[in-house]
């Protein structure tokens, strides 16, 4: 083949024609657009994983769930860096779209961000507070100047600047003239702007970025384990809200929800245990908060029905005479005075005096928590729950081999698409490795007779 066609005989060098490269980029852009439009790749992941599970014959009745921290393609900024980058981004956009308005700004302000790059960035730690005060005053000046402007006020960079001012600064008192100093919020919200490059990023206990929720099969009979659900949530959102969405996605991927779902204490709560049960799943997640005093009787000492909606007997063995509903979710189990008179546990009993009777207030969620506290202390629960830690290896593999820890994209839709494609690649890789092992085992020579 001639060199003009892109390759040269006897050489591994390959040159792509600019026209071909342009067409390839257009195809990639079109594919990305279609995937983003189709649920950010959710439909592709679910359909492909469902076929993979069916082809491999994987058992999905037992699964485990966990979350892992991911960082988009952004720079982690200090508070001063956040102010500087946001102001600089707005001034650069203003100079490009409205050069006359940019030229009317004070020379000192433009020089600090456009003509003297590094004025803020190279500040020593001792100078940072003073320069942060100046940056906050500059933000106030720009927001006050352009917030009523018809075209500038709707620019994306100005919207971010106004958001920065609202979340980070304390508005000065009105009627006092231009302020000499802008006070800063002592502790901004975890949902506040963390980077102008990705306004969707929030701050959580694991740092700035996003959280990826993963659910994986964990049956010991499977030749390999596959991730059955994947989703993205903000870093400042609790794992408590991710159980039901994961179960709904596993139902679409696997055809049914698992009978058991192992998770850590971040997912354990009375609400989640009951909601998972409504989906046909036993959520095996321990309760992490401190339990009640062991020297005082609690709901765990009472016997309830399977739904946790009625008391069958108290710790002594007495059944309540009736149950009464109350406003809200609280229910009352009523015991007669004759039953409780002379009871040796009365001084530590959680029942309350209601006229001539004793009443035990409870909610099904509180009953589920009390029963789980007792269950999680048993050797059987601890042994069964050991399998949960296996998903940590999946998190590690995704970060080591698939770039899961630091992505090359930003903004939540593209982050979600990238995460789903990477997890789908992991599933396919595991399936291919299984096929290779099976093929190698089928072609291996028979073992020599030991006799």
Q: How far apart are CA 39 and CA 211, in angstroms?
A: 18
Question: What is the average per-residue pLDDT within 52-65?
Answer: 97
Q: Which residue has 């790749």 as its token pair? A: 41
SS (HEC) of 6-39: CECCCCCCECCCHHHHHHHHHHHHHHHHHHHHCH
Q: Are 163 and 210 part of one and the same domain?
A: no
The rounded Cα 101 to chain-centroid distance in angstroms is 41
User: Higher-confidence residue: 19 or 160?
Assistant: 160
Please report whether residue 216 resides in a domain: yes
Please report whether residue 246 resides in a domain: yes
Confidence tier at 290 by pLDDT (50, 70, 90): confident
* Mean pLDDT over the full length of the chain: 87
- Reply yes or no on whether the pLDDT at 35 is more than 80: no
Q: Are 277 and 318 part of one and the same domain?
A: no
- Reply yes or no on whether the pLDDT at 313 is more than 90: no
Question: What is the average per-residue pLDDT within 362-388?
Answer: 92
Confidence tier at 447 by pLDDT (50, 70, 90): low
User: 66 — phi, psi (to 5°)?
Assistant: -160, 165
Token pair recorded at residue 410:
């930003």
Q: How far apart are CA 164 and CA 79, in angstroms?
A: 11
The region of weakest confidence among 48-62, 330-344, 421-435 is 330-344
Task: For CA atoms 272, 274, 280, 282, give the dihedral sign.
Answer: positive
Q: Are 231 and 279 part of one and the same domain?
A: yes
The whole domain housing 222 covers 41-73+205-286+382-439
Q: Would you state the pLDDT for residue 152?
A: 96
User: Higher-confidence residue: 325 or 188?
Assistant: 188
Total domains present in the chain: 3
Q: Would you state the pLDDT for residue 123?
A: 60
- Reply yes or no on whether the pLDDT at 362 is more than 70: yes
Q: Are 111 and 256 part of one and the same domain?
A: no
pLDDT tens for residues 157-200? 999 999 999 999 999 887 667 888 999 999 999 999 999 999 99
Say what percent of the chain tops pLDDT 70.
Answer: 86
- Crossing angle between the packed helical segments 156-168 and 128-146, to the nearest 10 degrees: 120
Radius of gyration of the chain measured on its C-alpha atoms: 30
Q: Are 306 and 281 part of one and the same domain?
A: no
Please report whether residue 28 resides in a domain: no
Question: What is the average per-residue pLDDT within 281-292?
Answer: 88
**Could you tell me whether strands 62-70 and 260-262 are parallel, antiparallel, or unpaired per DSSP bridges?**
parallel
Q: Are 109 and 247 part of one and the same domain?
A: no
Please report whether residue 135 resides in a domain: yes
Q: How far apart are CA 127 and CA 133, in angstroms?
A: 10
Confidence tier at 33 by pLDDT (50, 70, 90): low
Q: Would you state the pLDDT for residue 207?
A: 94
**Of 141, 168, 195, which marks where a domain is finished?**
168
The region of weakest confidence among 69-83, 203-217, 293-307 is 293-307
Please report whether residue 25 resides in a domain: no
Burial of 214: CB neighbours in 10 Å, binned 0-12, 13-18, 19+ = buried
Token pair recorded at residue 124:
């020593």
pLDDT tens for residues 204-241? 999 999 999 999 999 999 999 999 999 999 999 999 99
- Reply yes or no on whether the pLDDT at 15 is more than 70: no
The region of weakest confidence among 79-93, 199-213, 305-319, 381-395 is 305-319
The region of weakest confidence among 10-19, 65-74, 161-170, 318-327 is 10-19
The region of weakest confidence among 10-19, 219-228, 357-366, 380-389 is 10-19
- Reply yes or no on whether the pLDDT at 11 is more than 50: no
Q: Which of 31-35, 326-330, 366-370 has the highest mean pLDDT?
A: 366-370
Q: Are 161 and 236 part of one and the same domain?
A: no
Query: Three-class SS of residue 374?
Result: helix
- Reply yes or no on whether the pLDDT at 25 is more than 60: no
Q: Would you state the pLDDT for residue 349?
A: 86
Please report whether residue 227 resides in a domain: yes
Query: Three-class SS of residue 91?
Result: helix
Please report whether residue 366 resides in a domain: no
Query: Three-class SS of residue 325?
Result: strand
Tell me the whole-structure pTM to 2 decimals: 0.84
Confidence tier at 95 by pLDDT (50, 70, 90): very high
Q: Would you state the pLDDT for residue 6?
A: 46
The region of weakest confidence among 1-10, 100-109, 138-147, 173-182 is 1-10
Q: Are 132 and 247 part of one and the same domain?
A: no
- Reply yes or no on whether the pLDDT at 450 is more than 70: no
Q: Are 258 and 388 part of one and the same domain?
A: yes
Please report whether residue 33 resides in a domain: no
Q: Are 387 and 281 part of one and the same domain?
A: yes
User: 161 — phi, psi (to 5°)?
Assistant: -65, -45
Q: Would you state the pLDDT for residue 1?
A: 43
Q: Are 155 and 94 part of one and the same domain?
A: yes
Q: How far apart are CA 80 and CA 59, in angstroms?
A: 52
Nearest to 304 by CA among 374, 357, 252, 406: 374
The C-alpha angle with vertex 333 and arms to 327 and 336, in degrees rounded to 5, equals 130
Q: Please, what is the end-to-end C-alpha distance for the chain in angstroms?
A: 60
Q: Would you state the pLDDT for residue 279?
A: 96
Q: Domain with 275 in it: what CATH number?
A: 3.30.420.10
Q: How far apart are CA 42 and CA 241, in angstroms?
A: 19
Confidence tier at 347 by pLDDT (50, 70, 90): confident
The region of weakest confidence among 172-186, 271-285, 291-305 is 291-305
Q: Are 250 and 217 part of one and the same domain?
A: yes
The region of weakest confidence among 20-24, 273-277, 315-319, 348-352 is 20-24
């Amino acid at each position: 083949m001639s060199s003009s066609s892109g390759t040269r005989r006897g050489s591994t060098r390959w040159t792509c024609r600019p026209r071909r490269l342009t067409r390839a980029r257009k195809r990639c852009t079109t594919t990305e657009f279609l995937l983003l439009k189709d649920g950010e790749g959710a439909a592709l992941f679910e359909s492909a994983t469902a076929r993979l599970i069916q082809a491999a014959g994987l058992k999905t009745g037992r699964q485990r769930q966990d979350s892992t921290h991911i960082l988009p393609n952004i720079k982690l900024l200090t508070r001063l860096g956040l102010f500087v980058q946001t102001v600089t981004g707005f001034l650069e956009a203003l100079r490009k779209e409205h050069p006359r308005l940019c030229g009317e700004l004070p020379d000192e302000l433009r020089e600090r961000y456009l003509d003297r790059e590094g004025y803020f960035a190279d500040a020593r730690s001792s100078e940072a507070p003073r320069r942060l005060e100046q940056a906050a005053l500059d933000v106030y000046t720009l927001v006050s100047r352009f917030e009523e402007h018809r075209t500038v006020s709707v620019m994306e960079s100005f919207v971010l600047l106004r958001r920065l001012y609202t979340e980070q600064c304390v508005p000065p008192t009105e009627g006092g003239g231009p302020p000499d100093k802008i006070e800063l919020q002592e502790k901004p919200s975890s949902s506040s702007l963390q980077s102008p490059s990705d306004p969707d990023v929030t701050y959580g206990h694991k740092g700035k970025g996003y959280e990826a929720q993963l659910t994986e099969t964990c049956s010991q009979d499977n030749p390999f384990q596959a991730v059955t659900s994947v989703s993205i949530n903000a870093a400042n959102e609790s794992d408590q809200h991710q159980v039901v969405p994961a179960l709904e996605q596993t139902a679409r991927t696997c055809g049914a929800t698992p009978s058991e779902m192992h998770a850590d204490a971040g997912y354990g709560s009375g609400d989640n245990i009951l909601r998972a049960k409504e989906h046909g799943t036993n959520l095996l997640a321990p309760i992490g908060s401190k339990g009640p005093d062991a020297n005082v009787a609690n709901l765990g000492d009472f016997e309830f029905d399977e739904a946790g909606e009625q008391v069958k007997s108290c710790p002594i063995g007495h059944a309540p005479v009736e149950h009464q509903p109350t406003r809200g979710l609280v229910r009352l189990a009523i015991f007669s005075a004759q039953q409780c008179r002379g009871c040796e546990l009365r001084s530590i009993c959680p029942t309350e005096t209601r006229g001539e009777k004793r009443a035990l207030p409870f909610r099904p969620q509180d009953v589920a928590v009390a029963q789980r506290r007792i269950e999680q202390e048993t050797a059987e629960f601890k042994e069964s729950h050991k399998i949960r830690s296996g998903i940590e290896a999946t998190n590690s593999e995704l970060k080591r081999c698939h770039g899961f820890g630091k992505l090359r994209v930003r903004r939540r839709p593209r982050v979600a698409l990238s995460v789903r494609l990477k997890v789908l690649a992991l599933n396919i890789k595991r399936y291919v490795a299984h096929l290779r092992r099976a093929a190698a085992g089928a072609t291996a020579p028979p073992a020599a007779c030991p006799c």
